[in-house]
A and B are shown apart, each in its own frame.
Chain A
Amino acid sequence: MDIQLKRGLLETCVLAAIADCDSYGYKIIKDLSGVVEISESTLYPILKRLESGGYLRVFTEEHNSRLRKYYAITKQGLERIPAFLAEWEEVARVVNYIKTNSEGGDKNG
Protein backbone atom coordinates (compact mmCIF):
# COMPACT_ATOMS: atom_id res chain seq x y z
CA MET A 1 0.00 0.00 0.00
CA ASP A 2 1.14 3.55 -0.72
CA ILE A 3 3.02 4.82 2.32
CA GLN A 4 1.24 8.20 2.44
CA LEU A 5 -2.13 6.52 2.14
CA LYS A 6 -1.29 4.01 4.82
CA ARG A 7 0.08 6.69 7.10
CA GLY A 8 -3.15 8.70 6.82
CA LEU A 9 -5.19 5.58 7.47
CA LEU A 10 -3.21 4.58 10.54
CA GLU A 11 -3.23 8.06 12.02
CA THR A 12 -6.99 8.27 11.70
CA CYS A 13 -7.38 4.76 13.12
CA VAL A 14 -5.44 5.86 16.19
CA LEU A 15 -7.56 8.98 16.54
CA ALA A 16 -10.71 6.86 16.25
CA ALA A 17 -9.35 4.50 18.92
CA ILE A 18 -9.11 7.37 21.43
CA ALA A 19 -12.17 9.32 20.23
CA ASP A 20 -14.58 7.83 22.77
CA CYS A 21 -12.31 7.62 25.76
CA ASP A 22 -8.68 8.22 26.63
CA SER A 23 -6.45 5.25 26.01
CA TYR A 24 -2.84 4.04 26.36
CA GLY A 25 -0.33 2.43 24.03
CA TYR A 26 -0.99 -1.22 24.69
CA LYS A 27 -4.76 -0.77 24.60
CA ILE A 28 -4.67 1.15 21.31
CA ILE A 29 -2.71 -1.67 19.68
CA LYS A 30 -5.10 -4.26 21.09
CA ASP A 31 -8.18 -2.33 19.99
CA LEU A 32 -6.84 -1.89 16.49
CA SER A 33 -5.49 -5.43 16.13
CA GLY A 34 -8.76 -6.73 14.67
CA VAL A 35 -8.82 -3.95 12.08
CA VAL A 36 -5.27 -3.24 11.05
CA GLU A 37 -1.93 -4.72 11.95
CA ILE A 38 0.12 -2.15 13.80
CA SER A 39 3.26 -2.81 15.77
CA GLU A 40 4.49 -0.93 18.82
CA SER A 41 7.29 0.66 16.84
CA THR A 42 4.83 1.82 14.17
CA LEU A 43 2.46 3.29 16.74
CA TYR A 44 5.15 5.23 18.56
CA PRO A 45 5.99 7.72 15.77
CA ILE A 46 2.28 8.06 14.91
CA LEU A 47 1.49 9.11 18.47
CA LYS A 48 4.37 11.53 18.34
CA ARG A 49 3.21 13.06 15.07
CA LEU A 50 -0.37 13.37 16.31
CA GLU A 51 0.82 14.99 19.51
CA SER A 52 3.08 17.52 17.78
CA GLY A 53 0.27 18.26 15.30
CA GLY A 54 -2.05 19.05 18.21
CA TYR A 55 -4.48 16.22 17.42
CA LEU A 56 -4.00 14.56 20.78
CA ARG A 57 -2.49 15.38 24.11
CA VAL A 58 -0.54 13.19 26.45
CA PHE A 59 -0.89 12.93 30.20
CA THR A 60 0.62 10.62 32.73
CA GLU A 61 -1.32 8.85 35.44
CA GLU A 62 -0.40 6.38 38.09
CA HIS A 63 -1.60 2.88 37.46
CA ASN A 64 -0.76 -0.09 39.72
CA SER A 65 2.06 1.89 41.31
CA ARG A 66 3.70 2.71 38.01
CA LEU A 67 3.22 5.54 35.56
CA ARG A 68 1.26 5.09 32.38
CA LYS A 69 0.90 7.53 29.53
CA TYR A 70 -2.61 8.26 28.37
CA TYR A 71 -3.59 9.82 25.08
CA ALA A 72 -6.61 12.12 24.86
CA ILE A 73 -8.06 13.40 21.60
CA THR A 74 -8.23 17.19 21.15
CA LYS A 75 -10.89 19.25 19.38
CA GLN A 76 -8.60 19.42 16.38
CA GLY A 77 -8.26 15.64 16.43
CA LEU A 78 -12.01 15.17 16.56
CA GLU A 79 -12.41 17.42 13.54
CA ARG A 80 -9.90 15.44 11.60
CA ILE A 81 -11.95 12.26 11.53
CA PRO A 82 -14.87 13.59 9.43
CA ALA A 83 -12.36 15.45 7.25
CA PHE A 84 -10.57 12.17 6.60
CA LEU A 85 -13.84 10.41 5.81
CA ALA A 86 -14.79 13.13 3.32
CA GLU A 87 -11.43 12.72 1.60
CA TRP A 88 -11.92 9.00 1.62
CA GLU A 89 -15.24 9.36 -0.19
CA GLU A 90 -13.25 10.79 -3.03
CA VAL A 91 -10.83 7.87 -2.94
CA ALA A 92 -13.78 5.47 -2.89
CA ARG A 93 -15.17 7.11 -6.03
CA VAL A 94 -11.83 6.64 -7.77
CA VAL A 95 -11.60 3.02 -6.59
CA ASN A 96 -15.08 2.43 -7.91
CA TYR A 97 -14.14 3.93 -11.26
CA ILE A 98 -11.02 1.72 -11.49
CA LYS A 99 -13.06 -1.33 -10.59
CA THR A 100 -15.83 -0.78 -13.11
CA ASN A 101 -13.45 0.08 -15.91
CA SER A 102 -11.16 -2.86 -15.43
CA GLU A 103 -13.82 -5.53 -15.44
CA GLY A 104 -13.85 -6.30 -19.13
CA GLY A 105 -15.87 -3.21 -20.01
CA ASP A 106 -18.79 -4.23 -17.86
CA LYS A 107 -19.54 -0.73 -16.63
CA ASN A 108 -22.34 -1.90 -14.41
CA GLY A 109 -20.30 -4.52 -12.64
Chain B
Amino acid sequence: MDKTEFLAELRTQIATRAPEELRRTVSYFEEIIDDRIEDGMSETEAVATLETPAQIAESLAGIQTAHNPNSYDAAELHTINIRDLNCPVFIVPRSDSVYIEYHSHEKKRYDVDCSNGVLDVMAVSSMKWYDYIGFGRGNTTYRPFVLGVPESFCGRINIVTSNCDASVSDVKFSGGLNIKTSNAKMTFRNLKISGEISAHTSNGKVVAQFVECGLFDAENSNGRIEATHISCDTELSLATSNGRVEIQHIKAGKRIALHSSNGRIYGVIDDNMREFSVRSHTSNGSNSLPGDMPGGNKDLEVSTSNGSIEIRFAPN
Protein backbone atom coordinates (compact mmCIF):
# COMPACT_ATOMS: atom_id res chain seq x y z
CA MET B 1 0.00 0.00 0.00
CA ASP B 2 1.35 3.44 -0.80
CA LYS B 3 0.53 6.69 0.94
CA THR B 4 -2.36 7.63 -1.34
CA GLU B 5 -3.99 4.23 -0.97
CA PHE B 6 -3.47 4.26 2.78
CA LEU B 7 -5.05 7.68 3.20
CA ALA B 8 -7.96 6.78 0.91
CA GLU B 9 -8.59 3.64 2.93
CA LEU B 10 -8.35 5.61 6.17
CA ARG B 11 -10.86 8.11 4.83
CA THR B 12 -13.27 5.26 4.09
CA GLN B 13 -12.75 3.73 7.51
CA ILE B 14 -13.54 6.93 9.37
CA ALA B 15 -16.13 8.21 6.91
CA THR B 16 -18.76 8.50 9.62
CA ARG B 17 -16.83 11.15 11.53
CA ALA B 18 -17.55 14.86 11.23
CA PRO B 19 -15.96 16.34 8.07
CA GLU B 20 -13.59 18.68 9.96
CA GLU B 21 -12.47 15.86 12.24
CA LEU B 22 -12.01 13.58 9.24
CA ARG B 23 -9.81 16.16 7.54
CA ARG B 24 -7.71 16.67 10.67
CA THR B 25 -7.22 12.96 11.24
CA VAL B 26 -6.18 12.32 7.66
CA SER B 27 -3.76 15.25 7.63
CA TYR B 28 -2.27 14.06 10.93
CA PHE B 29 -1.47 10.65 9.44
CA GLU B 30 -0.30 12.19 6.19
CA GLU B 31 2.17 14.28 8.16
CA ILE B 32 3.38 11.23 10.11
CA ILE B 33 4.02 9.35 6.86
CA ASP B 34 5.86 12.32 5.32
CA ASP B 35 7.99 12.65 8.44
CA ARG B 36 8.83 8.96 8.38
CA ILE B 37 9.86 9.21 4.74
CA GLU B 38 11.95 12.26 5.52
CA ASP B 39 13.59 10.25 8.27
CA GLY B 40 14.81 7.71 5.71
CA MET B 41 12.04 5.18 5.33
CA SER B 42 10.67 4.25 1.93
CA GLU B 43 7.04 5.19 1.30
CA THR B 44 5.85 1.57 1.47
CA GLU B 45 7.86 0.96 4.61
CA ALA B 46 6.47 4.08 6.24
CA VAL B 47 2.94 2.89 5.54
CA ALA B 48 3.55 -0.78 6.32
CA THR B 49 4.89 -0.09 9.79
CA LEU B 50 1.87 1.98 10.75
CA GLU B 51 -1.25 0.36 12.10
CA THR B 52 -3.73 -0.54 9.38
CA PRO B 53 -6.47 2.02 8.61
CA ALA B 54 -8.97 -0.41 10.14
CA GLN B 55 -6.98 -0.63 13.36
CA ILE B 56 -6.60 3.11 13.47
CA ALA B 57 -10.32 3.61 12.98
CA GLU B 58 -11.04 1.13 15.74
CA SER B 59 -8.60 2.76 18.07
CA LEU B 60 -9.95 6.25 17.36
CA ALA B 61 -13.53 5.11 17.79
CA GLY B 62 -12.51 4.01 21.25
CA ILE B 63 -14.24 0.67 20.90
CA GLN B 64 -12.70 -1.43 23.60
CA THR B 65 -13.42 -5.09 23.25
CA ALA B 66 -13.65 -7.17 26.35
CA HIS B 67 -12.52 -10.71 26.20
CA ASN B 68 -14.86 -13.01 28.08
CA PRO B 69 -13.84 -16.59 28.75
CA ASN B 70 -16.03 -18.88 30.84
CA SER B 71 -16.13 -22.54 31.75
CA TYR B 72 -19.01 -24.84 32.69
CA ASP B 73 -19.15 -28.32 34.10
CA ALA B 74 -19.99 -30.63 31.17
CA ALA B 75 -21.88 -33.04 33.45
CA GLU B 76 -24.33 -30.28 34.38
CA LEU B 77 -25.27 -29.44 30.81
CA HIS B 78 -27.48 -31.16 28.27
CA THR B 79 -28.09 -28.29 25.84
CA ILE B 80 -25.90 -25.46 24.55
CA ASN B 81 -27.61 -22.73 22.54
CA ILE B 82 -25.50 -20.04 20.93
CA ARG B 83 -26.97 -17.20 18.91
CA ASP B 84 -24.43 -14.85 17.45
CA LEU B 85 -24.35 -12.62 14.42
CA ASN B 86 -21.66 -11.44 12.06
CA CYS B 87 -19.16 -13.41 14.05
CA PRO B 88 -17.12 -16.47 13.10
CA VAL B 89 -17.71 -19.51 15.27
CA PHE B 90 -15.12 -22.15 16.08
CA ILE B 91 -15.92 -25.36 17.88
CA VAL B 92 -12.81 -26.98 19.26
CA PRO B 93 -11.98 -29.80 21.66
CA ARG B 94 -11.52 -29.07 25.33
CA SER B 95 -10.19 -31.52 27.89
CA ASP B 96 -12.23 -30.86 31.00
CA SER B 97 -15.20 -28.54 30.73
CA VAL B 98 -17.48 -26.74 28.30
CA TYR B 99 -15.73 -23.50 27.46
CA ILE B 100 -16.96 -20.34 25.78
CA GLU B 101 -14.99 -17.31 24.72
CA TYR B 102 -16.32 -14.20 23.02
CA HIS B 103 -15.63 -10.52 22.60
CA SER B 104 -18.06 -7.86 23.58
CA HIS B 105 -17.74 -4.16 23.04
CA GLU B 106 -19.85 -1.07 23.47
CA LYS B 107 -22.03 -2.00 20.51
CA LYS B 108 -22.35 -5.69 21.19
CA ARG B 109 -23.04 -7.58 24.37
CA TYR B 110 -23.76 -11.19 25.15
CA ASP B 111 -26.53 -12.36 27.44
CA VAL B 112 -25.46 -15.58 29.07
CA ASP B 113 -27.78 -17.75 31.07
CA CYS B 114 -27.02 -21.15 32.50
CA SER B 115 -29.84 -22.92 34.28
CA ASN B 116 -31.55 -26.32 34.34
CA GLY B 117 -28.83 -27.87 32.24
CA VAL B 118 -29.21 -25.33 29.44
CA LEU B 119 -26.49 -22.87 28.52
CA ASP B 120 -27.91 -19.99 26.50
CA VAL B 121 -25.61 -17.43 24.96
CA MET B 122 -27.14 -14.68 22.88
CA ALA B 123 -25.42 -11.77 21.20
CA VAL B 124 -27.26 -8.47 21.34
CA SER B 125 -25.91 -5.95 18.89
CA SER B 126 -26.69 -2.31 18.38
CA MET B 127 -24.36 -2.07 15.42
CA LYS B 128 -25.86 -0.33 12.47
CA TRP B 129 -25.18 -1.06 8.86
CA TYR B 130 -22.58 1.69 8.67
CA ASP B 131 -20.61 0.08 11.46
CA TYR B 132 -19.85 -2.72 9.08
CA ILE B 133 -18.58 -0.58 6.22
CA GLY B 134 -14.99 -1.30 5.40
CA PHE B 135 -14.87 -4.43 7.52
CA GLY B 136 -16.74 -2.96 10.40
CA ARG B 137 -14.52 -0.38 12.01
CA GLY B 138 -11.59 -2.59 12.48
CA ASN B 139 -11.74 -6.18 13.39
CA THR B 140 -14.01 -5.95 16.37
CA THR B 141 -16.87 -7.68 14.65
CA TYR B 142 -14.72 -10.46 13.37
CA ARG B 143 -13.22 -11.81 16.55
CA PRO B 144 -14.49 -15.34 16.74
CA PHE B 145 -16.80 -17.00 19.17
CA VAL B 146 -15.07 -20.09 20.50
CA LEU B 147 -16.87 -23.05 21.99
CA GLY B 148 -14.76 -25.76 23.59
CA VAL B 149 -16.45 -29.14 23.98
CA PRO B 150 -15.03 -32.00 26.08
CA GLU B 151 -15.54 -35.65 25.25
CA SER B 152 -17.61 -35.99 28.41
CA PHE B 153 -20.31 -33.67 27.06
CA CYS B 154 -23.55 -35.45 26.36
CA GLY B 155 -26.33 -33.49 24.74
CA ARG B 156 -27.27 -31.04 22.00
CA ILE B 157 -25.42 -28.05 20.60
CA ASN B 158 -27.36 -25.47 18.58
CA ILE B 159 -25.41 -22.65 16.99
CA VAL B 160 -26.54 -19.82 14.77
CA THR B 161 -24.37 -17.06 13.35
CA SER B 162 -24.37 -15.09 10.13
CA ASN B 163 -22.10 -13.76 7.43
CA CYS B 164 -19.10 -15.50 8.92
CA ASP B 165 -17.37 -18.85 8.78
CA ALA B 166 -18.20 -21.70 11.09
CA SER B 167 -15.69 -24.40 11.79
CA VAL B 168 -15.91 -27.58 13.85
CA SER B 169 -12.73 -29.58 14.32
CA ASP B 170 -11.35 -32.48 16.37
CA VAL B 171 -14.42 -32.68 18.54
CA LYS B 172 -15.87 -35.86 20.07
CA PHE B 173 -19.05 -36.05 22.08
CA SER B 174 -22.33 -37.93 22.48
CA GLY B 175 -25.26 -36.04 21.11
CA GLY B 176 -26.15 -33.79 18.22
CA LEU B 177 -24.92 -30.62 16.58
CA ASN B 178 -27.05 -28.15 14.70
CA ILE B 179 -25.12 -25.32 13.11
CA LYS B 180 -26.23 -22.48 10.86
CA THR B 181 -24.56 -19.54 9.18
CA SER B 182 -25.01 -17.60 5.98
CA ASN B 183 -22.85 -16.14 3.25
CA ALA B 184 -19.89 -18.05 4.57
CA LYS B 185 -17.95 -21.27 4.59
CA MET B 186 -18.47 -24.21 6.91
CA THR B 187 -15.80 -26.72 7.81
CA PHE B 188 -16.09 -30.03 9.64
CA ARG B 189 -12.89 -31.93 10.39
CA ASN B 190 -12.03 -35.01 12.45
CA LEU B 191 -15.31 -35.38 14.26
CA LYS B 192 -16.86 -38.21 16.19
CA ILE B 193 -20.37 -37.28 17.16
CA SER B 194 -22.83 -40.02 18.09
CA GLY B 195 -25.98 -38.25 16.91
CA GLU B 196 -26.96 -35.95 14.12
CA ILE B 197 -24.92 -33.19 12.52
CA SER B 198 -27.09 -30.71 10.75
CA ALA B 199 -25.43 -27.87 8.84
CA HIS B 200 -26.93 -24.98 6.90
CA THR B 201 -25.23 -22.17 5.04
CA SER B 202 -25.56 -20.21 1.85
CA ASN B 203 -23.21 -18.62 -0.63
CA GLY B 204 -20.23 -20.44 0.81
CA LYS B 205 -18.78 -23.89 0.50
CA VAL B 206 -19.20 -26.75 2.93
CA VAL B 207 -16.20 -28.96 3.55
CA ALA B 208 -16.40 -32.13 5.64
CA GLN B 209 -13.48 -34.46 6.21
CA PHE B 210 -13.12 -37.50 8.45
CA VAL B 211 -16.48 -37.30 10.13
CA GLU B 212 -18.11 -40.15 12.00
CA CYS B 213 -21.64 -39.53 13.16
CA GLY B 214 -25.15 -40.86 13.40
CA LEU B 215 -26.53 -38.69 10.64
CA PHE B 216 -25.04 -35.92 8.53
CA ASP B 217 -27.30 -33.42 6.86
CA ALA B 218 -25.69 -30.48 5.03
CA GLU B 219 -27.69 -27.93 3.14
CA ASN B 220 -26.18 -25.11 1.12
CA SER B 221 -27.18 -22.84 -1.67
CA ASN B 222 -24.93 -21.19 -4.18
CA GLY B 223 -21.98 -23.11 -2.91
CA ARG B 224 -20.31 -26.43 -3.37
CA ILE B 225 -20.15 -29.30 -0.92
CA GLU B 226 -17.08 -31.46 -0.49
CA ALA B 227 -17.40 -34.55 1.69
CA THR B 228 -14.45 -36.88 2.22
CA HIS B 229 -14.27 -39.90 4.51
CA ILE B 230 -17.70 -39.55 6.02
CA SER B 231 -19.27 -42.44 7.83
CA CYS B 232 -22.85 -42.23 9.08
CA ASP B 233 -24.76 -44.83 11.06
CA THR B 234 -27.97 -44.00 9.26
CA GLU B 235 -28.16 -41.15 6.75
CA LEU B 236 -25.93 -38.85 4.78
CA SER B 237 -27.64 -36.04 2.96
CA LEU B 238 -25.85 -33.33 0.98
CA ALA B 239 -27.90 -30.74 -0.86
CA THR B 240 -26.99 -27.54 -2.65
CA SER B 241 -27.94 -25.55 -5.66
CA ASN B 242 -25.60 -23.78 -8.02
CA GLY B 243 -22.70 -25.80 -6.78
CA ARG B 244 -21.15 -29.16 -7.27
CA VAL B 245 -21.26 -32.02 -4.80
CA GLU B 246 -18.02 -33.91 -4.49
CA ILE B 247 -17.80 -37.07 -2.41
CA GLN B 248 -14.85 -39.32 -1.62
CA HIS B 249 -15.15 -42.41 0.55
CA ILE B 250 -18.52 -41.87 2.07
CA LYS B 251 -20.79 -44.48 3.58
CA ALA B 252 -24.08 -44.61 5.43
CA GLY B 253 -26.13 -47.35 7.10
CA LYS B 254 -29.46 -46.58 5.53
CA ARG B 255 -29.57 -43.73 3.06
CA ILE B 256 -27.37 -41.48 0.97
CA ALA B 257 -28.96 -38.47 -0.70
CA LEU B 258 -27.00 -36.11 -2.94
CA HIS B 259 -28.75 -33.17 -4.54
CA SER B 260 -27.76 -30.19 -6.60
CA SER B 261 -29.06 -28.19 -9.44
CA ASN B 262 -26.67 -26.54 -11.82
CA GLY B 263 -23.86 -28.62 -10.44
CA ARG B 264 -22.18 -31.90 -11.07
CA ILE B 265 -22.26 -34.72 -8.53
CA TYR B 266 -19.29 -37.02 -8.49
CA GLY B 267 -16.99 -39.21 -6.47
CA VAL B 268 -16.76 -42.51 -4.66
CA ILE B 269 -19.10 -44.32 -2.29
CA ASP B 270 -17.38 -46.90 -0.08
CA ASP B 271 -19.97 -49.57 -0.63
CA ASN B 272 -21.31 -52.09 -3.10
CA MET B 273 -23.88 -50.73 -5.54
CA ARG B 274 -26.04 -53.81 -4.98
CA GLU B 275 -26.60 -52.67 -1.40
CA PHE B 276 -28.67 -49.76 -2.69
CA SER B 277 -32.03 -49.07 -4.18
CA VAL B 278 -30.96 -46.35 -6.57
CA ARG B 279 -32.95 -43.41 -7.88
CA SER B 280 -31.08 -40.84 -9.88
CA HIS B 281 -31.84 -38.07 -12.30
CA THR B 282 -30.18 -35.31 -14.24
CA SER B 283 -31.65 -33.27 -17.06
CA ASN B 284 -28.61 -32.00 -18.86
CA GLY B 285 -25.66 -34.25 -18.29
CA SER B 286 -24.44 -37.81 -18.32
CA ASN B 287 -25.46 -40.19 -15.57
CA SER B 288 -23.33 -43.14 -14.44
CA LEU B 289 -26.11 -44.48 -12.21
CA PRO B 290 -29.28 -46.35 -13.10
CA GLY B 291 -32.28 -44.07 -13.07
CA ASP B 292 -34.42 -46.40 -11.00
CA MET B 293 -33.08 -49.64 -9.60
CA PRO B 294 -34.91 -51.19 -6.64
CA GLY B 295 -33.70 -54.12 -4.61
CA GLY B 296 -31.12 -52.89 -2.14
CA ASN B 297 -31.41 -52.51 1.62
CA LYS B 298 -30.26 -48.93 1.54
CA ASP B 299 -31.44 -45.92 -0.45
CA LEU B 300 -29.31 -43.88 -2.77
CA GLU B 301 -30.90 -40.77 -4.22
CA VAL B 302 -28.91 -38.58 -6.55
CA SER B 303 -30.35 -35.73 -8.51
CA THR B 304 -29.23 -32.61 -10.30
CA SER B 305 -30.08 -30.77 -13.43
CA ASN B 306 -27.54 -29.10 -15.66
CA GLY B 307 -24.77 -31.31 -14.38
CA SER B 308 -23.47 -34.80 -14.78
CA ILE B 309 -23.61 -37.61 -12.24
CA GLU B 310 -20.44 -39.66 -11.95
CA ILE B 311 -20.56 -41.97 -8.96
CA ARG B 312 -18.25 -44.95 -8.47
CA PHE B 313 -18.52 -47.67 -5.87
CA ALA B 314 -15.51 -48.99 -4.02
CA PRO B 315 -16.53 -51.52 -1.36
CA ASN B 316 -13.83 -52.23 1.17
Whether B38 and A41, one on each chain, are in contact in the complex, defined by CB atoms closer than 8 angstroms, is no
Kindly specify which of B24-32, B159-167, B262-270 makes contact with the partner chain. B24-32
B51→A40 contact, CB < 8 A: yes
Known contacts A39-B51, A40-B51, A41-B51, A26 near B31 by CB under 8 Å? yes
Chain B residues positioned under 8 Å from A44 (CB to CB): 25, 28, 60
Residues of B within 8 A of A42 (CB): 59
Residues of A within 8 A of B51 (CB): 39-41
B35 engages A26 (CB within 8 Å):
yes
- Asked if A24 and B35 make an inter-chain contact with CB atoms under 8 angstroms apart, the answer reads yes
Query: Could you tell me if B35 and A68 are in contact, using CB atoms closer than 8 angstroms?
Result: yes
B34 touches A41 (CB 8 A): no
Query: Which B residue sits closest to A25, measured CB to CB?
Result: B32
Which of B27, B31, B39, B56 has the most chain A CB atoms closer than 10 A to its own CB? B31
Q: What per-residue 1/0 map shows which CB atoms of A77-101 lie under 8 Å from chain B?
A: 0000000000000000000000000
Q: Which of B35, B55, B62 contacts A25 (CB under 8 A)?
A: B35
- Asked whether any CB of chain B lies closer than 8 Å to the CB of A64, the reply is yes
| Cross-chain contact of A26 among B25, B27, B32, B56 (Cβ < 8 A) | B32
From 10 to 47 in chain B, residues with beta carbon under 8 angstroms from any chain A beta carbon are: 25, 27-29, 31-32, 34-36, 38-39
Contact with B along A1-39 (1 / 0, CB 8 A): 000000000000000000000001111010000000001
Q: Which residues of B contact A66 (CB under 8 A)?
A: 31, 34
Total number of A residues with any Cβ neighbor in B under 8 Å: 16
Cα distance, A44 to B29, chains bound together (Å): 9
Report Cα–Cα, A25/B33, bound state, in Å: 10
| A40 contacts across to B, CB distance below 8 A | 28-29, 32, 50-51, 56
Chain A residue nearest to B60 (CB atoms) is A41
Which residues of chain B are within 8 angstroms of A45 by Cβ–Cβ distance? 60, 62
Contacts of B31 in A (CB 8 A): 24-26, 66-69
Instruction: Give Cα A67–Cα B50 distance, bound, in whole angstroms.
Output: 21
CB distance from A50 to the nearest CB of B (A): 14
- Residues on the A chain within 8 Å of B29, using CB: 40
In angstroms, how far is the closest chain B Cβ from the Cβ of A14? Answer: 14
Whole-angstrom distance between the alpha carbons of A24 and B25 in the complex? 14
Which residue on chain A has the smallest CB distance to residue B29?
A: A40
Complex CA–CA separation, A9 to B35 (angstroms): 25
Question: Contacts A25-B28, A69-B28 known; A41 to B56 CB distance under 8 Å?
Answer: yes
**How many Å lie between the Cα of A30 and that of B10 in the bound state?**
23
Instruction: Decide: B59 and A41 in contact? CB cutoff 8 A.
Output: yes
**B62 / chain A contacts, CB cutoff of 8 Å:** 45
Q: Are A26 and B39 in contact (CB under 8 A)?
A: yes
Q: How far is the CA of A67 from the CA of B27 in the complex (A)?
A: 9
Chain B residues at the A interface, C-beta cutoff of 8 Å: 25, 27-29, 31-32, 34-36, 38-39, 50-51, 55-56, 59-60, 62
Which are the 4 A-B pairs with shortest beta-carbon distances?
Answer: A26-B35, A41-B59, A41-B56, A40-B32
